[in-house]
Amino acid sequence: MAETILVVGSTGNIGFSAITAALRSKRNVLAVVRSQSSADKLVKYIGSDKGITIAEADVTSDTGVKGVVEKVRAGKLPAFQHVWTSVGGEYTFDKIENVSTERLRRNMNIGFEAGFFAYRDTIKYLREQNNPNSTWTICTGAQGEIAQFVVPAMTQGALFPFCKAAARENEETNVRVNEVYLCYRVENDKDAVEHGVTKASDFANVYEMILDSPDVRSSRVCVENADEDLKKLKVRPFQKI
């Protein structure tokens, strides 16, 4: 039976990559979306709803992903063996002094907490299924180090220790936890051509390779070079303690 990937942040540039990777590798998708219009955007982008089940939930709330997993447990949504998460907030330049408290909290909620919830509320389910091929993967970015765009930089920076801890907590489990550390711009295929950046469908290679590489676990997968890193994974295992 085909595997299913739960995709959180499914309607973004990076979410489109994850869905493309899933469908290209003959897996199904359980896509969490926040609204019908986001679901429509997804199906329009992919060109079909074949292999995609939509689940509507607010992934920024601490009950959003939890509710989806409860429906899976109740048999109302398909079982899943993998999780991909890439929820993202603003990607704009500003000075720290101009960032209001409300804006900071909103972006930490979208850019950090949503990833945290997507892990906390799926990992027990993945372990209980005990599928030896299970993976849990998150996309972070180089802004977390460079800090040119301070708002996404702060949310991505907060994800780094989270990724290490999640990976460590699963070193001996059935779930391969990995971080994809993306160092350049990826956009949906149409925008990418317009803006001269990497296409979501090309970046999808990375996730396809992770899904099919049983040895890649508890690692940061660096995507620094828009050519070679899309053909061969650059794997940097997290330090063991």
Ligand X SMILES: NC(=O)c1ccc[n+]([C@@H]2O[C@H](COP(=O)([O-])OP(=O)(O)OC[C@H]3O[C@@H](n4cnc5c(N)ncnc54)[C@H](OP(=O)(O)O)[C@@H]3O)[C@@H](O)[C@H]2O)c1
What is the rounded CA–CA span in Å between residue 25 and residue 40?
Answer: 23
Residues across the chain: 241
Cβ closer to ligand X: 171 or 181?
A: 181
Q: Which two tokens stand for residue 16?
A: 């489109």
Show the site string, 155-194: x = touches ligand X by CB under 6 A, - = not. -x-------------------------x--xx--------
Q: How far is the CB of 124 from ligand X (least distance, A)?
A: 23
DSSP 27-68: -EEEEEESSHHHHHHHHHHHS--TTEEEEE--TTSTTHHHHH
Q: How far is the CB of 108 from ligand X (least distance, A)?
A: 12
For ligand X, which residue of 22, 55, 59, 150 counts as binding (CB under 6 A)?
59
Q: Which two tokens stand for residue 222?
A: 């660096």
Cβ closer to ligand X: 71 or 185?
A: 185
Cβ closer to ligand X: 40 or 128?
A: 40
Q: Is 195 strand, coil or helix?
A: helix
Q: How far is the CB of 157 from ligand X (least distance, A)?
A: 11
Any contact of residue 141 with ligand X (CB under 6 A)? yes
Are 158 and 147 contacting, i.e. CB atoms less than 8 angstroms apart?
no
Cβ closer to ligand X: 120 or 185?
A: 185
Any contact of residue 138 with ligand X (CB under 6 A)? no
- Considering only 3-11, 23-31, 70-78, 126-134, which stretch makes contact with ligand X by CB under 6 A? 3-11
Any contact of residue 12 with ligand X (CB under 6 A)? yes
Distant-in-sequence, close-in-space partners of 107: CB < 8 Å, separation ≥ 6:
89, 90, 151, 152, 154, 155
Span 19-48, contacts to ligand X by CB under 6 A: 34, 38
For ligand X, which residue of 87, 166, 177, 210 counts as binding (CB under 6 A)?
87
Indicate the residue type of 24: R
Q: For 82-112, what is the HEC assignment?
A: EEEECCCCCCCCCCHHHCCHHHHHHHHHHHH
Q: Which residues bind ligand X (CB under 6 A)?
A: 9-15, 34, 38, 59-60, 86-89, 110-111, 139, 141, 152, 156, 182, 185-186
